[in-house]
């Protein structure tokens, strides 16, 4: 039984890492952003397809037009039992890993690009499948900007 649980845990971790693997076609490149006059704006949001009880990821560009930093204190999505901000990192053993970012701070007058292979929002314990063409509603709650609700189209990377 222990071997079965270890095997299932390994499969789950592998799926999480591959669901957030890097895809050069999704990098921001030379995009020019116009920061909002004040507060937070979200642009270019999209989500990966995912299976029921599985995982997906949301990528977006977060523009903080305020002169002050703002902290993300909560994430929620009706399609997921658990939503967390994660970062992909080099584990130092030739493998990549993911970890939750606790109390992420977004500096004032800066753009944060969430992309495959970097910072991203994980949708876990999906309560419904996410297919290309669907939309995901996501609410981000900040200490200063308050709640921001967005809709992200579901698509495969590179589209």
116-135 tens-digit pLDDT:
999 999 999 999 999 999 99
CA 74 to CA 91: how far, in whole Å?
27
pLDDT by residue (tens digit) across 17-41? 444 443 433 344 567 788 888 899 9
Integer Cα distance of 11 and 51 in angstroms: 15
Of 117, 125, 96, nearest in space to 25 by CA: 117
Burial of 134 (0-12, 13-18, 19+ CB in 10 A): middle
Q: At 80, is the secondary structure helix, strand, or coil?
A: strand
Mean pLDDT computed over 66-72: 97
State the average pLDDT for the chain. 86
The DSSP annotation for 101-121 comes to: -SS-EE-TTEEEEE-TTSEEE
Q: How far is CA 30 from CA 16, 33, 120, in A?
A: 29, 9, 20
Q: What is the pTM (predicted TM-score) of this model? A: 0.80
Is residue 3's pLDDT more than 60? no
Among candidates 121, 134, 130, which has minimal Cα distance to 60? 121
- Which is the CATH superfamily of the domain at 2-26+34-153? PCu(A)C copper chaperone (2.60.40.1890)
Smallest CA-to-CA distance from 101 within 113, 116, 118 is with: 118
Distance in angstroms (rounded) separating the CA atoms of residues 54 and 72:
24
Alpha-carbon gap, residue 59 to 55, rounded angstroms:
14
């Amino acid at each position: 039984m222990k071997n079965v649980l270890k095997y299932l845990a390994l499969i789950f971790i592998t799926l999480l890492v591959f669901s957030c693997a890097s895809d050069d076609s999704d990098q921001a490149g030379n995009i020019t952003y116009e920061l909002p006059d004040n507060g937070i704006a979200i642009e270019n949001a999209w989500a990966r397809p995912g299976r029921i009880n599985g995982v997906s990821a949301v990528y977006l560009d977060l523009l903080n037009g305020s002169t002050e930093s703002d902290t993300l204190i909560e994430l929620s999505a009706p399609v997921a039992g658990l939503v967390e901000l994660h970062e992909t990192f080099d584990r130092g053993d030739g493998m990549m890993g993911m970890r939750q970012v606790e109390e992420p701070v977004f500096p004032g007058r800066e753009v944060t690009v969430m992309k495959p292979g970097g910072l991203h929002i994980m949708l876990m314990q999906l309560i419904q499948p996410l297919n290309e063409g669907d939309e995901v509603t996501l609410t981000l709650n900040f200490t200063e900007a308050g709640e921001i609700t967005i809709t992200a189209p579901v698509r495969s990377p590179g589209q």
